[in-house]
Amino acid sequence: MTLTLLSLVLATPNFPAELQRLANADVLPDCAVCHQGTPAAGTVVTPFGTAMREAGLKANDVASLEAAWAQLEEHDSDGDGVSDKQALAEGENPNGKGFSYGCASAPWAGWFFGLPWLLWLRARSVRRV
């Protein structure tokens, strides 16, 4: 019950790294790509995040992230003529310039949400070697 409740409250911490991988980007996307304010359930309100959810993205489901990503081949959330995929590949926010949502609005959130996942990813990569 606690794990289920926790997964409903927190954002999916590995999604930024998965988006970085899918976009073949050098830069890890900020939580602001999908979330407004502190990343949590109910804060996915950005144009890109909404499009991904409409394409079938589900919290804590990497397969749904990959499927939604595949569906949005030419989607352009901010209407600037650059697809969301291309914007992310270039390290830009697909919602457009000036979006100040996500982790940046809560400086502690990056440590709170990111550090455990960075440690998990590092441990995972060490085991592969």
pLDDT score at 118:
53
**Burial class (CB within 10 angstroms; exposed 0-12, middle 13-18, buried 19+) of 35:** buried
pLDDT score at 102:
43
User: Cβ–Cβ contacts within 10 Å for residue 59, how many?
Assistant: 15
Long-range contacts of 43-47 (CB under 8 A, 24+ apart): 43/11, 45/101, 46/77, 46/95, 46/99, 46/101, 47/77, 47/78, 47/94, 47/95
- Element (H or E) spanning 115, and its range? helix 115-128
pLDDT score at 129:
47
Tens place of pLDDT for every residue, the chain, 129 residues? Answer: 444 344 444 567 788 999 999 999 988 888 888 888 777 778 888 999 999 999 999 988 999 999 999 999 899 999 999 999 999 999 888 998 765 444 444 444 444 445 555 565 556 555 554
pLDDT score at 49:
93
pLDDT score at 10:
54
pLDDT score at 111:
45
> SS3 for 39?
coil
Whole-number Å distance between alpha carbons of 16 and 18: 5
